[in-house]
Amino acid sequence: MTVSPVTAVRAFSLGAAIGVIGGNVVAPYLLGRAAQVHPVLVIVALLVGGTFGGVLGILPAMPVTVIIVILVKEPHAAGSGRPWPPPPFLSP
């Protein structure tokens, strides 16, 4: 039950603003932090994945991006016979 149309518009505007901020700022920051990737790179990866593959392109966008970042940051780990460093959540 709404009190007035103005209250309904305010509530809708607040909900929309929270959704936009959460989806465009907070989510990339948290995803980037978990994957140790810069938030801007998260946004770019999702945009590129969505552009080339639509919704199904977004799904592999982050795993592919993280693999590329790891290979760029740790070139010695690819094909050198050395073991990969453990993921951060497994480090003591």
Q: What residue segments make up the domains of the chain, in order of their start?
A: 5-81
Q: Model confidence over 30-86: pLDDT tens digits?
A: 777 777 788 888 889 989 999 999 989 988 998 898 888 877 777 665 555 666 666
Q: What CA–CA distance (Å, rounded) separates 79 from 92?
A: 26
Confidence (pLDDT) at 62: 87
- Confidence (pTM): 0.56
Q: Which letter does DSSP use for residue 36 in this model?
A: T
Q: Are 62 and 46 in contact (CB under 8 A)?
A: yes
Confidence (pLDDT) at 35: 75
Q: Where are the alpha helices (DSSP H) in 22-87?
A: 27-35, 39-58, 61-73
Higher local confidence (pLDDT), 91 or 60 = 60
Average pLDDT on 25-34 reads: 77
Confidence (pLDDT) at 1: 52
